[in-house]
A = this chain, B = another copy of it.
Amino acid sequence: MKLHGYFRSSASYRVRIALNLKGLRVDHLAHHLRKGEQCAPAYLAINPQGLVPTLEDDVGAVLTQSLAIIEWLDETHPEPPLLPKDPLRRAKVRAFAMALACDTHPVQNLKVLARLRELGLPEEKVTAWAAWANREGLSACETLIANEPGPFCFGPAPTMADLCLVPQLANARRFGVDLAAYPRLLKAEAAAKSNKAFADAAPDRQPDAE
């Protein structure tokens, strides 16, 4: 399989963790987002959104959208599971993941921040926007798992929730968000960071890291 991604892309990072947890090796194809390589015609032909990641499976089928790729990985390579078996618990894990993947990350991604700059916003207001989006999402997530013993977001093993949390916390730090308000999220992050699948997926461990 081939994963089209970018070292610093949160969505690519989520999929890298999932692949590592499943023990799947893939070829990594880097597309430099700041240089606009995701808008090259050859890439748009497989991902019309011009976003990373895109996964190509062994027979060349093309999958887009990080959470759709992760659900597919979990359905086709069930061990270890990235979602609980109980439907209500699955819904809780997915809701946490989507609070970040739908309502947080897309509001502060490269494309949206570039648009804010085009509207004439000075850099400190662009950063303040990104920090705001992160605080909104992380505050809600802290509450969503306040009663979960952990150490991961939803129990003793990582789920799709942790796959979204760890990259989002990296973003939040980059935008200067004070994470002290989120002790439960930091506890989950600490558990994840001691897991090799997460560590190997980190942006600074990727061949295209700058």
- Interface residues of chain A, those whose CB is within 8 Å of chain B, are 48-51, 57, 61, 63-65, 67-69, 71-72, 75-76, 87-88, 90-92, 94-95, 98-99, 101-103, 105-107, 111-112, 115, 119, 121, 125, 129, 132, 136-137, 139-140, 143-144
Contacts and interface: CB of A to CB of B under 8 A. Distances in A.
Report how many copies the assembly holds: 2
Q: Is the interface of A mostly helix, strand, loop or mixed?
A: helix
B71 A91 contact: yes
Contact of A144 (B48, B90, B132): B48
Nearest to A104: B106
A65 B164 CA distance: 15
The 5 closest A-B pairs by CB, nearest first: A68-B94, A48-B143, A65-B95, A72-B91, A68-B95
Contacts of A98: 65, 67-68, 101-102
